[in-house]
Amino acid sequence: MPVQLEAYHTLLTQLPPQVTLVAVSKTKPVSDILALYREGQRDFGENYVQELLEKQPQLPVDIRWHFIGHLQSNKVKYLAPFVHLIHGVDSFSLLKEIQKQGAKANRRLDCLLQVHIAQEETKFGMNEAEVLQTLSQASFTHVRIKGLMGMGTNGVDEQTQRAEFEGLKTLFDKCRSTETAARSTEIPARDLEIDTLSMGMSGDYLLAIACGSTMVRVGSLLFGGR
């Protein structure tokens, strides 16, 4: 299936100015990525480290690569030199490895904490207590926590989806006030800069935006089915 250029431009007209579109290109060839790049798209998302490492050198250097899959600690070192944002951080030990590899690469690596909002057991992520604890413990020189990421349950009714997204938005707002509190105590909170809420995919991005998403991750709508 060719790249859906018309769907891409329609989608752009639906995005409020504060919402970033990440085009999810997993399993798709570099030619498809280039086709969207030529339309002006710069943020692309990949799920698999090996696949990303094969594609990245073949593509323009000003692409902002988002890693949206489940990241294993032993693979962080491959992404550290170039990744723009790591969406799926689900443990403090992973953050510590990102800190270590960020220091080696001499970069501060931007991360989102993945929150488990779906009813499905199969999805990864932290619960609310773990998120808040992580924020209060975060003291990093080469990690910056930018916000939260979540995935809703597949194939449920809109009311359930909405409740999941609203729950994530409420937690996001709580995190932002935690950050503000940290700043007001004049402890330098440079490792927190919470402004990104990554939620919404091809099937539910409009609902996610209505619930306060600032970043949508859209794949099949742009690139066709996988």
Interface with ligand PLP, residue 148, by CB under 6 A? no
Interface with ligand PLP, residue 83, by CB under 6 A? no
Query: Are 56 and 74 in contact, with CB atoms under 8 Å apart?
Result: no
- Amino acid identity of residue 107, one-letter, is R
Residue 27 zone, left/alpha/beta (φ > 0; ψ -120 to 50; rest): left
Minimum distance, C-beta of residue 203 to ligand PLP, in the bound complex (Å): 6
Residue 20 phi, psi dihedral angles, 5° rounding = -95, 135
Residue 149 phi, psi dihedral angles, 5° rounding = -135, 140
**For residues 39 and 136, which CB has a smaller minimum distance to ligand PLP in the complex?**
39
Interface with ligand PLP, residue 154, by CB under 6 A? no
CA distance linking residue 90 with residue 182, whole number of Å: 22
- The two tokens of residue 59 are 């593509």
**Member of 34, 178, 202, 206 binding ligand PLP (CB under 6 A):** 202
**For residues 157 and 186, which CB has a smaller minimum distance to ligand PLP in the complex?**
157
Minimum distance, C-beta of residue 224 to ligand PLP, in the bound complex (Å): 9
Interface with ligand PLP, residue 219, by CB under 6 A? yes
**Member of 36, 68, 148, 208 binding ligand PLP (CB under 6 A):** 68
Interface with ligand PLP, residue 151, by CB under 6 A? yes
Query: Are 148 and 169 in contact, with CB atoms under 8 Å apart?
Result: no
Site residues, ligand PLP (CB under 6 A): 24, 26, 47, 68, 151, 201-203, 217-221
